[in-house]
């Protein structure tokens, strides 16, 4: 297994001074950090992986989702930690885990204390993490109902704890956390799968702007915890609209679909640190990998990924299809997703801000460290 330290990753990014497009032919990228280290949960031989401009995609172990195992490769803002699910051979179950790039090791966290239970081969699963890397989020199976799972969080120094479910016998799951881990985003089962946020451990169900229609699943939360974004489903004759939920005012606004290429499903899958840049995709029947990726920018609106990259002057292969935006780094300078030319692969775009050029070189690496 090839390892790369955080310092090396920073040096690689420091050498990238121009906006650039990268094809990633192997693996499905789930997360991208502020330093350009990406994470993914589906590698060629069924493990998680990390990617940098210098190393390409490198397997890091763990168990890719599928066949009763869940999880996604979330990543911390500094690119040091990756979330996921691993196999605990001693206990005989899959469990929520965190990978440390510096040491090249996974640490598993088991199940929910007191109420944890094994369902099939899994006791818990890791789906995302906080920006500071100190918390992992996902679900933990419980003994409180039939195949009942709770949104579950592990925090360094605290351990595993349940965020709960608002209905006994119904499941919940969280897939994203704010920078400090205090706000989570996910869903609550019951009357369908409703978007939910957990603010300081208290669940808030999300409704559409009319105040009564339940919103669909939530996928991400801004670093400051103010905005939660999620998906919408339209009718057979009208496209869906995604949403942005304000956890401070408890209000929801709709994210309009593409003017051309809109489809029934529209998922806002990711947001930057302050909720002003949102990415995802719109698609019809089948997986999102067959859809059209979008970028929504506050004050600008919704556009295709290609139009967004064109506006930034970024070159990419002719005929490349941007199917989905899977993650935007908190600083908005790295965007990752799925697409390709005649095949499904991942892609990464680096759009350095003018201020980032002052951080080049060894002095720049020191400056980045001093702010974390």
Render pLDDT for 225-236 as a digit per residue (tens, 0 to 9): 999 999 999 998
- pLDDT for 334-355, tens place per residue? 999 999 997 789 999 999 987 5
φ, ψ of residue 362 to 5 degrees: the values are -65, -35
**Could you give the CA distance from residue 112 to residue 283 in angstroms, rounded to a whole number?**
36
HSE-up of 357 (CA within 13 Å, CB side)?
6
| CA angle (161, 163, 166) in 5-degree steps | 140
Share of residues in the chain with pLDDT > 70 (%): 90
Domain 6-13+22-370 bears CATH identifier 2.60.15.10: no
pLDDT grade, residue 370 (50/70/90)? very low
The answer to whether residue 123 scores a pLDDT higher than 90 is yes
Among candidates 28, 41, 89, which has minimal Cα distance to 289? 28
Mean pLDDT of the chain: 90
**Structure confidence at residue 17 (pLDDT):** 58
pTM of the complete model: 0.89
Residue boundaries of the structural domains of the chain: 6-13+22-370
pLDDT grade, residue 364 (50/70/90)? very low
């Amino acid at each position: 297994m090839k390892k790369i330290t955080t310092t090396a990753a920073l040096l690689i990014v420091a050498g990238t001074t121009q906006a650039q497009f990268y094809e990633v032919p192997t693996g499905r990228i789930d997360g991208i950090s502020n330093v350009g280290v990406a994470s993914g949960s589906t590698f060629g031989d069924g493990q998680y992986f990390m990617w940098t401009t210098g190393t390409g995609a490198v397997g890091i172990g763990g168990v890719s989702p599928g066949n009763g195992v869940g999880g996604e490769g979330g990543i911390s803002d500094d690119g040091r930690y990756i979330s996921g699910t691993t196999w605990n051979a001693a206990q005989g179950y899959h469990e929520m885990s965190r990978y440390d790039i510096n040491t090249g090791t996974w640490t598993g966290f088991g199940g929910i204390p007191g109420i944890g239970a094994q369902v099939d081969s899994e006791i818990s699963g890791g789906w995302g993490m906080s920006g500071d890397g100190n918390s992992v989020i996902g679900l933990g199976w419980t003994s409180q109902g039939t195949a009942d799972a709770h949104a579950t969080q592990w925090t360094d120094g605290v351990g595993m704890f349940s965020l709960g479910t608002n209905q006994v016998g119904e499941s919940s799951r969280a897939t994203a956390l704010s920078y400090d881990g205090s706000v989570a985003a996910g869903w609550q089962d019951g009357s369908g799968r409703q978007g939910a946020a957990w603010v300081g451990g208290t669940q808030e169900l999300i409704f559409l702007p009319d105040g009564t229609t339940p919103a669909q699943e939530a996928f991400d939360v801004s670093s400051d915890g103010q905005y939660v974004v999620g998906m919408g489903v339209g009718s057979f004759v009208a496209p869906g609209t995604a949403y942005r939920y304000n956890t401070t005012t408890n209000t929801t606004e709709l994210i309009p679909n593409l003017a051309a290429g809109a489809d029934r499903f529209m998922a806002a899958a990711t947001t930057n640190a302050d909720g002003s840049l949102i990415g995802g995709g719109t698609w019809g029947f089948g997986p999102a990998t067959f859809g059209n990726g979008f970028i929504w920018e506050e004050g600008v609106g919704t556009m295709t990924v290609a139009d967004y990259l064109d506006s930034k002057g970024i070159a990419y292969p002719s005929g490349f299809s941007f199917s989905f935006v899977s993650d935007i780094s908190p600083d908005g300078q790295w965007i990752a997703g799925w697409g390709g030319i005649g095949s499904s692969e991942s892609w990464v775009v680096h759009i350095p801000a003018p201020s980032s050029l002052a951080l080049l070189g060894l002095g720049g690496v020191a400056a980045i460290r001093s702010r974390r």
